[in-house]
Copies of this chain bind each other. A is one copy, B any other.
Amino acid sequence: MKKTLRIGVIGLGRLGYQHTMNVTRTMGARLAAVSDPFPAALERAVEDFGVTGYADYKEMLKDPAVDAVVIATPTQTHYDVLMDVIAARKPIFVEKPITFTVEEAEKIQKAVEEAGLYLQVGFMRRFDPGHVAAKKMIESGACGKPIYIHDCQRDPNGPPPAYVPQSGGLFVDMGIHDLDVARWLMGCEITEIYAQGAVLKHEFLKELNDVDDGQMLLKFQNGGLGMIEISRNANDVYDTRTEVIGLEKSVFVGQEQLTPFKTVGGQEIVFDMANWCLGRFKDAYELEMAAFVENVLAGKPSPVTAYDGMMGIKLALTATASFRENKPIHLTY
């Protein structure tokens, strides 16, 4: 077993920078190189982390000091970058969505499988200790058959307008996480989605053809039902909760209080809550990177495969279509 995985990171935006930091914090990993076409982002990372920087990721792929690759570029570039990394035969961690189309995702899945390569998609909730505890308890059988899932994800604020056109829209950008969690925790695929959406708060989204609030009803292969609520309207808190009802017990995942601190006075108790995704899922982002490193070093299979990535975008696009067409859409397997 090789002791250290030397990692190159492609894409140094907010999340790419976070992944880079997490690489440096992961036992068994060493940050080997970073890449970004934007000089400012690249220079900052090179200085902060003291590693080689590549403006062109293709050059980085030739660097023998890079064993594995983290991809955190904008989604529209994923397909090309992924194909290049697959050709370079490096193990891959790629942010969600894997691509913006099912066709591309399926090609990636095929290429990865044919190459026998490790690919892990960044569904970080699968590594959140709360969600993991729920999954374990469901898999243990202690809850009985899971029959219902209730999930919400509420962003604290509207998105930057410039981000909206490259986000894929609310059901893709946010909903992909909830849809992935739903099929993962229910232990079977989603067979029908009915979605509604609206602009309830951030009026500028109307011109950008997006919404800030979405709600979905789900049906599952095992006969179960579920609902998902997503919004960007949570008034400065980030609020994600998932509840699965089994035939015998229920499991609730969520984190209300962020800092273990309360103020008391005037007949009131006040405490704080996470106000962004990276706060709520700080540990999950570290743990997914740790899993990536550990699995690649140990030759274990990926826990979040290209197939999962393809299913994520497929479900998110189905939800989007249901919302646009205002009708339930069936999925067959």
A residues neighboring B (CB under 8 Å): 3-4, 21, 24-25, 27, 48, 50, 128-131, 133-134, 137, 142-143, 147-148, 150, 152, 154, 156, 194, 196, 198, 200-201, 213, 215, 217, 219, 223-227, 229, 231, 233-237, 239, 245-257, 259-273, 275, 326, 328
Q: A268 touches which one: B21, B247, B270 (CB < 8 A)?
A: B270
* Pairs across A and B, CB under 8 Å, 8 listed: A129-B259, A130-B260, A148-B229, A234-B264, A237-B268, A251-B262, A267-B273, A326-B328
Please state the number of chain copies in the assembly.
4
Closest 10 CB pairs of A and B: A130-B260, A255-B260, A249-B265, A133-B261, A25-B25, A147-B200, A235-B265, A130-B261, A250-B264, A267-B275
Report B-chain residues with C-beta under 8 Å of the C-beta of A226: 215
Minimum CB–CB distance from A298 to chain B (whole Å) comes to: 15
Once the chains are docked, how many angstroms separate the CA of A154 from the CA of B150?
Answer: 12
Q: In the complex the two chains form, is A264's CB within 8 Å of B249's CB?
A: yes
A48 and B21 contact, Cβ closer than 8 Å, known pairs A130-B260, A148-B233, A150-B152:
no
Minimum CB–CB distance from A206 to chain B (whole Å) comes to: 12
